[in-house]
């Protein structure tokens, strides 16, 4: 069953009923000001950092699930009836409800008693504000006397403190109102130099800034007393819960349409210009007034919306494909690329499942996100790489997370996740291949942000590699530390205390437990580093990296192979994890996918064999399960993985993130049918017809789909912020379609299904547009290329040397 449809022309998903199985959300803003918005206008906004600069309040895990947002109420002042055109919070039976989630905007519209109301919510490019552009039309044959109410609930900036420190917070809320604009200035009197504002394009008939005055005692947002009475009270918040609410009276003749714009924004003043007059306590508004005035003008708003649209058209235009599969086209051309921007911006910090206070930007996550994102905004990718590298420690290890606002490593979580450093090499390699910008390697970057400790980025990469060599275990495999990619395989944790964090508890010295996964990652990263070193003229270093890589491959063959698949790890007792010998957790996906992806076992058949085992033991119609059999009880020596009931999350859930590793591995053994089949099983667009089972949005990937051991097999969870976005984009575009960035040009190496006659694509790469046509002439994966009609040797197209900006490439597969 579906709850809407794709409108590919408009780059939108159109939701046609408000009661989706879960809130289906979108992101507003893609630079510094961000909002999350659901299909019923729920959600919140923040500036840069969802924890430290939360602008509006949201209550997670509420009843109903999604409550609190950018709510507008309409009131028929003759009948006294009021309703929400976004359905929530009043939940009236609306006519013609639609929510169009598009590229950086969400348009929610409906009709009720012949009053149509459409609100376009978006964040203009380069601004720290959001616009709610409301269009009202009276379809009645008589005049309509309406009141329009806009509402937001302000957060007192630090979202964690806001949700916990009530003894203080109920006394600090402060606002100012000037010309109908509501300024939220809590803590501005002391150390904050920022405030929020909420403005309206029309004459404001009344306002409220104290929540209680609007909502009334013992009531909620579905029945605010002041709205019911039809009169806001002009309340001024002193402490308690500051809100912003405007009331605008709208008289509409039959057939008349009217637009009202609301602007919610964030503004910073320089410290010496905080107050106006300077010796007062009044917010200096001179700096923000021109911005407010600009966006209360509908011409400017329309222009800003057009430029947002152009921005996204431009970004998506970097790669467009035309394949025989509509779901591939739609995800590659629109939604997967779009999701990659969200994962790049948010990492895993703020969604409807990530509260914005739990996690900052993850070291491994953000580096992997680059794989899917780097082609879109390379300058920002560069900045991100340098920020990440600056949280690396002198040992080569890394802070596991950092806060986006301060860019400092997060001490609460710390380091010692032994896979982390290698992802920096993988991320930098992706950046270099895309951009050819070798200068980044010479950028001086500190360790742990300590001034004076700067070394070149290249040195950081070398330390990343060395980190593992300094930490080899009894079998010569990498020691796992707290965890590797699988945060829940906590082999040194041994926690028997309820509530203790699996992520930060370490009870063992870590000298025994080893990870075969890190070994595979080491091989991949080592080869990349060798390539990079070679191109920097460091032939001896390159050679030594390759020697270490070869040694590690041998070690994997000797101690990391179980006969039919790659082992997963050795635990603190030196016992195998992910082996036939285990009673549960005999086979894991990570090493099958990653070793194959890294090229381990390609020559000796191990990779192919391990992929057969994946197909036999782990593949389901809903995707590939993380491990089997699921752990049926808690194992002290394994940690969080065995804390989940079977079939969920890391305990035999379909953890979508590593499905694309298997897809890539399948392409490396030449199996395009299987690679694309796996791709389709978790492709959200392909799963749209089973939206009632899948439950999450059909336009973006979710982190997890319940595995076959779960009673809810096929149900997705934790949508939006997942490494799945980048990895699937990378797998389908660079390995299945085979449009692969390489140091020396664009490599064309498709491994597509046998029954595809071919496909077309346009790729902008280093400022040159490549028009690709791939035709199948045989069943294999061998490609013969013609560049502008001239046959070329090999499968890589070098950038034109004569300044041409358009290149035609024809590839024939045999």
Q: Give the shortest CB-521-to-ligand BGC separation in angstroms.
A: 16
154 binds, among ligand NOJ, ligand BGC, none (CB under 5 to 8 A by kind): none
SS3 assignment, position 797: strand
169/627 with CB nearer ligand NOJ: 627
75 binds, among ligand NOJ, ligand BGC, none (CB under 5 to 8 A by kind): none
202/650 with CB nearer ligand BGC: 650
Question: Among this protein's residues, is 76 annotated catalytic?
Answer: no
Q: Give the shortest CB-486-to-ligand BGC separation in angstroms.
A: 8
Beta bridge partners of 149: 73, 247
Contact predicate 737/321, CB 8 Å: yes
- Binding residues for ligand BGC, rule: CB under 6 A, are 487-488, 503, 640, 649-650
- Binding residues for ligand NOJ, rule: CB under 6 A, are 348, 362, 364-365, 485-488, 650
Contact predicate 555/458, CB 8 Å: no
185 binds, among ligand BGC, ligand NOJ, none (CB under 5 to 8 A by kind): none
485 binds, among ligand NOJ, ligand BGC, none (CB under 5 to 8 A by kind): ligand NOJ
Q: Give the shortest CB-762-to-ligand NOJ separation in angstroms.
A: 33
Q: Taking each helix axis from N to C terminus, what angle separates 606-613 and 589-598, rounded to the nearest 10 degrees?
A: 150
Comparing C-alpha atoms, which of 586, 781, 582 is closest to residue 674? 781
Q: Can you tell me the distance from the alpha carbon of 493 to that of 672, in angstroms, rounded to the nearest whole number?
A: 40
> Parallel, antiparallel, or unpaired: how do β-strands 95-102 and 144-157 relate?
unpaired
Q: Give the shortest CB-484-to-ligand NOJ separation in angstroms.
A: 8
Q: Taking each helix axis from N to C terminus, what angle separates 672-682 and 659-668, rounded to the nearest 10 degrees?
A: 170
Dihedral, CA atoms, 744, 745, 751, 752, nearest 10 degrees?
Answer: 170
Residue nearest to ligand NOJ (CB): 487
375/490 with CB nearer ligand BGC: 490
Active-site choice (484, 487, 562, 709): 487
Cα dist. 615→348, 597, 791 in Å? 30, 16, 38
362 binds, among ligand NOJ, ligand BGC, none (CB under 5 to 8 A by kind): ligand NOJ
73/352 with CB nearer ligand BGC: 352
Q: Give the shortest CB-585-to-ligand BGC separation in angstroms.
A: 16
Q: Give the shortest CB-541-to-ligand BGC separation in angstroms.
A: 34
503 binds, among ligand BGC, ligand NOJ, none (CB under 5 to 8 A by kind): ligand BGC
> Parallel, antiparallel, or unpaired: how do β-strands 257-268 and 129-138 relate?
antiparallel
3-state helix, strand, coil split of the chain in percent (to 5) is 30, 25, 45
DSSP assignment of 241-279: -EEEEEEEEEEE-TT-EEEEEEEEEEEE--GGGSBSSTT
576 binds, among ligand BGC, ligand NOJ, none (CB under 5 to 8 A by kind): none
Residue 455 has, within 13 A of its CA and on its CB side, a CA count of: 16
Comparing C-alpha atoms, which of 639, 641, 671, 638 is closest to residue 754? 671
Q: In this structure, what token pair is assigned to residue 33?
A: 């000001």
Q: What angle do CA 477, 731, 343 make, to 5 degrees?
A: 90
158/590 with CB nearer ligand NOJ: 590
202/640 with CB nearer ligand BGC: 640
Q: Can you tell me the distance from the alpha carbon of 782 to that of 668, in angstroms, rounded to the nearest whole number?
A: 13
292/488 with CB nearer ligand BGC: 488
Q: What is the DSSP letter of 141?
A: S
Per the listing, tokens 């006659």 go with 757
Residue nearest to ligand BGC (CB): 487
- Residues identified as active-site: 487
């Amino acid at each position: 069953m579906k709850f809407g449809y794709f409108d590919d022309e408009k780059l939108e998903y159109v939701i046609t009923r408000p009661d989706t199985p879960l809130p289906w959300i979108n992101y507003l803003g893609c630079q510094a000001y961000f909002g999350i918005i659901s299909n019923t206008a729920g959600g919140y906004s923040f500036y840069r950092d969802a924890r430290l600069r939360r602008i509006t309040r949201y209550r997670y895990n509420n009843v109903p699930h999604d409550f609190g947002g950018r709510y507008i109420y309409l009131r028929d002042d003759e009948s006294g009836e009021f309703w929400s055109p976004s359905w929530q919070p009043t939940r009236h039976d609306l006519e013609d409800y639609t929510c169009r989630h598009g590229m950086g905007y969400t348009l929610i519209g409906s009709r009720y008693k012949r009053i149509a109301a459409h609100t376009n919510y978006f964040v203009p490019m380069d601004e720290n504000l959001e616009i709610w552009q409301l269009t009202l039309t009276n379809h009645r044959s008589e005049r309509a006397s309406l009141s329009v109410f806009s509402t937001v609930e302000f957060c007192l900036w630090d979202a964690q403190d806001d949700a916990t420190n009530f003894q203080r917070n109920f006394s600090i809320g402060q606002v100012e109102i000037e010309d109908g604009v509501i300024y939220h200035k809590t803590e501005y009197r002391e150390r904050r130099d920022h405030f929020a504002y909420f403005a309206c394009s029309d004459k404001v008939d009344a306002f409220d800034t104290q929540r209680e005055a609007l909502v009334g005692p013992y009531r909620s947002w579905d029945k605010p007393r002041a709205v019911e009475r039809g009169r806001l009270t002009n309340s001024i918040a002193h402490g308690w819960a500051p809100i912003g609410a405007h009331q605008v009276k709208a008289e509409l003749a039959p057939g008349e349409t009217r637009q009202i714009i609301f602007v919610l924004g964030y503004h910073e003043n320089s410290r010496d210009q905080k107050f106006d007059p300077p010796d007062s306590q009044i917010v200096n508004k001179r700096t923000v007034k021109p911005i407010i005035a600009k966006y209360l003008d509908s011409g400017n708003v329309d222009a800003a919306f057009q430029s947002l649209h152009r921005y996204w058209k431009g970004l998506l235009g970097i790669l467009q494909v035309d394949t025989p599969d509509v779901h591939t086209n739609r995800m590659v051309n629109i939604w997967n690329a779009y999701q990659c921007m969200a994962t790049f911006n948010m990492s895993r910090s703020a969604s409807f499942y990530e509260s914005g206070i739990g996690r900052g930007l993850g070291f491994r996550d953000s580096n992997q996100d680059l794989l899917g994102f780097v082609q879109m905004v390379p300058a920002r990718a560069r900045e991100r790489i340098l920020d990440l590298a600056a949280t690396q420690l002198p040992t080569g290890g890394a802070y596991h997370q950092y806060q986006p606002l301060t860019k400092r490593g997060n001490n609460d979580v710390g380091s010692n996740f032994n896979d982390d450093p290698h992802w920096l090499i993988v991320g930098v390699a992706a950046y270099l291949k895309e951009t050819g910008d070798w200068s980044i390697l010479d950028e001086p970057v500190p360790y742990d942000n300590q001034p004076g400790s700067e070394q070149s980025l290249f040195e950081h990469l070398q330390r990343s590699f060395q980190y593992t060599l300094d930490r080899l275990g009894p079998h010569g495999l990498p020691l796992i530390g707290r965890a590797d990619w699988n945060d829940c395989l906590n082999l040194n944790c041994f926690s028997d205390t309820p509530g203790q964090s699996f992520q930060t508890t370490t009870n063992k010295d870590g000298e025994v437990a080893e990870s075969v996964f890190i070994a595979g990652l080491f091989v991949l990263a080592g080869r990349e580093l060798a390539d990079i070193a070679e191109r920097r003229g460091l032939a001896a270093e390159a050679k030594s990296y390759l020697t270490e890589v070869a040694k590690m491959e041998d070690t994997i063959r000797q101690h990391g192979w179980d006969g039919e698949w790659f082992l997963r790890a050795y635990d603190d007792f030196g016992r195998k994890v992910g082996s036939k010998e285990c009673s549960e957790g005999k086979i894991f996906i990570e090493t099958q996918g990653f070793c194959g992806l890294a090229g381990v076992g390609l020559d000796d058949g191990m990779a192919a064999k391990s992929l057969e085992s994946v197909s036999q033991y782990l593949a389901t119609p809903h995707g590939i399960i993380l491990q089997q059999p699921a752990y049926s009880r808690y194992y002290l020596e394994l940690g969080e993985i065995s804390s989940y009931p079977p079939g969920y999350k890391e305990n035999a859930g379909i953890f979508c993130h590593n499905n694309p590793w298997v897809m890539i591995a399948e392409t490396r053994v030449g199996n395009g049918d299987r690679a694309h089949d796996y791709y389709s099983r978790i492709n959200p667009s392909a799963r749209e017809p089973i939206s009632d089972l899948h439950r999450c949005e059909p336009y973006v990937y979710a982190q997890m789909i319940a595995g076959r051991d779960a009673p809810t097999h096929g149900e997705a969870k934790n949508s939006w912020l997942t490494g799945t976005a980048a990895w699937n984009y990378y797998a389908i575009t660079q390995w299945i379609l085979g449009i692969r960035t390489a140091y020396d040009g664009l490599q064309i190496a498709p491994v597509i299904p046998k029954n595809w006659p071919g496909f077309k694509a346009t790729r902008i790469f280093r400022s040159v547009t490549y028009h690709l046509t791939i035709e199948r002439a045989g069943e294999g994966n061998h490609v013969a290329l013609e560049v502008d009609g001239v046959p070329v040797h090999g499968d890589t197209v070098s950038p034109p040397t004569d300044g041409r900006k358009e290149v035609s490439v024809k590839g024939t597969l045999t």
